[in-house]
Amino acid sequence: MRRVLRSGLALLVALLAAAGCGVPPTGVVDTGPAPIARGAASLTRIYLVRDGRLQLTSVAVGSPHVSDLMATLFRADAEPTERLNTALDGLHLAEVQLVRYVPDASSRNDPDNTVTLRMRVFVSGPRISRIAMAQITCTARLRSEVWAVEIAHGTPGDTGPLKVHTCREYWDLAPRDGHLPP
């Protein structure tokens, strides 16, 4: 009797497995791109312009990556209540590249921060003014890992040699009550 019961149970399991759940299979259904999870925006600091001088201000940025920082700088709207504006109007951020920065032995002696980067910023649009270059350079230099900035007007590979900028060359554009990074 047990043997008959076992074989009957095995037959029942086989029939149920063959029947499946009763829902016929379908083909692949494309519903568009996969969702993207984004973290909450955080505040960062950028330089805008007030009365012909750089002014540090806080803005929301999508991520702490330097590409997002530069994109935020180029999209920053003027704040009429604080009399802030930007010298980047009409300019478009084409690309941001980060490359390892290897200065000569005499130019840097910072044992606490051995990983440094050079940021290359490619900009299209009208001629880049000095204050616009200061906005880009000094905003990038707020990040401790960015030691030098190269700004090119054009596209990568079509700019010729790039000049290295530091914020020091724009110290005359510092706010009257403040200073700029090196």
Look at 37 and 181; give whichever has higher pLDDT.
Answer: 181
| CA 113 to each of CA 29, 41, 110, 146: distance values in angstroms, whole numbers, following the listed order | 51, 27, 6, 11
Q: How far apart are CA 173 and CA 115, in angstroms?
A: 29
Which residues are registered as beta bridge partners of 146?
Answer: 117
pLDDT value for 121? 93
Q: What percent of the chain has pLDDT over 90?
A: 34
What tens digit of pLDDT does each residue of 19-30 get?
666 677 777 777
Asked whether the predicted pLDDT for residue 92 surpasses 90, the reply is: yes
DSSP 159: S
- At a CB cut-off of 8 Å and minimum separation 6, what does 18 contact? none
The model carries a pTM of 0.69
List Cβ neighbours of 85 (8 Å cut-off, separation of 6 or more): 48, 49, 50, 78
| Per-position b or e across 30-63, b if 16+ CB within 10 A of its CB | eeeeeeeeeeeeeebebbbbbeebbbbeebebbb
Among candidates 126, 60, 59, which has minimal Cα distance to 92?
Answer: 126
Q: Which residue would you say has higher pLDDT here, 133 or 22?
A: 133
pLDDT score for 138: 95
Give the per-residue pLDDT at 141. Answer: 92
Residue 87's nearest CA partner among 44, 124, 53 is 53
Per-residue pLDDT tens over the stretch 18-74: 566 667 777 777 776 666 666 666 888 999 999 999 999 998 888 878 889 999 999
